[in-house]
Amino acid sequence: MAATILDGKRLAQQIQAELTEEVAEFIENNGVDPTLAAVLVGTDPASEVYIRNKRTACEGVGIESRLHRLPADVSQDELLALVTRLNKAKDEPVHGVLIQLPLPSHIDAGRILQAISPLKDVDCFHPENVGRMVQGHPRFLPCTPAGIQQLLLRNRIEVAGRRVVVVGRSETVGKPLAIMLMNRGPGADATVTVCHSRTVDLPSVTREADVLIVAIGKPRFITAEMVKPGAAVVDVGIHRTDRGLCGDVDFESVQEVAGQITPVPGGVGPLTVAMLLENTLRAAREQELAR
């Protein structure tokens, strides 16, 4: 029997409908629009698409979106100066600051991300916000891991006490997700194993997973023989190939083994954007409360 499809697009629409009501209430109570400032450096086609999708989603829930376009040859100091201005914006409040990655090679992305005020760091990249998350007291949650956690929670996929295997140890997905899943609370309390390129006999580890989350950046890397029958499989990857879009999981074969599986596209991606909106509203609430 084929796996149940975990429809991230439909779930993201549900979350955004909830946020629309919350944003309207916030505006009515505070007289200010939650505002996200996005910074796009250069004209990378994929980045253009991502920024357009994020701005459209903001408009859909009532969040104001401001786009700052900079040329690909902008200096690091100029970019830092813009971040400083956005951090200090008060007359026209900016509640969240988003730097679209990747940045050109002559710019130190880590330095730019750390320059964003932790109160406006809606991607949750700043060391202060990462530290709060590790301690179990997050200000924000990183968008893609938070989207995955919501996917599991809202589809009633239990992780407490179960074996979760995360394939990939990136700073944006694998590491923070593993921490979130092993923290205490709803959608957590899991027994987590993180695998990577140096893992010995990877298939033997992935076959033990009740929940298998794949963010390794290799198209169709996870095949049916690497999956425990009945497991929930979450595919974070997205790749353009000669056969069209695909993820890190060989969907056609794995769906015959798994109990639940995310499609690509339409799985994790839309939820990442929904969590960005949620973080922006949360940032606005905290900042307006402190005014």
Query: How far apart, in whole angstroms, are the C-alpha atoms of residue 166 and residue 191?
Result: 11
Under 8 Å CB-to-CB from 200, ≥6 apart: which residues? none
Rounded Cα gap, residues 239 and 94, in angstroms: 33
Amino acid at 102: P
CB 66 within 8 A of CB 94: yes
Active-site entry in 16, 120, 121, 123: 123
Residue 67 CB neighbour total at 10 angstroms: 15
Q: Which of 16, 100, 255, 260 is catalytic?
A: 100
Q: Which among 16, 54, 120, 287 is annotated as catalytic?
A: 54
In angstroms, the CA 285 to CA 71 distance is: 33
100 is catalytic: yes
Of the candidates 117, 133, 123, which has an alpha carbon nearest to the alpha carbon of residue 99?
123
123 a catalytic residue: yes
User: What are the catalytic residues?
Assistant: 54, 100, 123
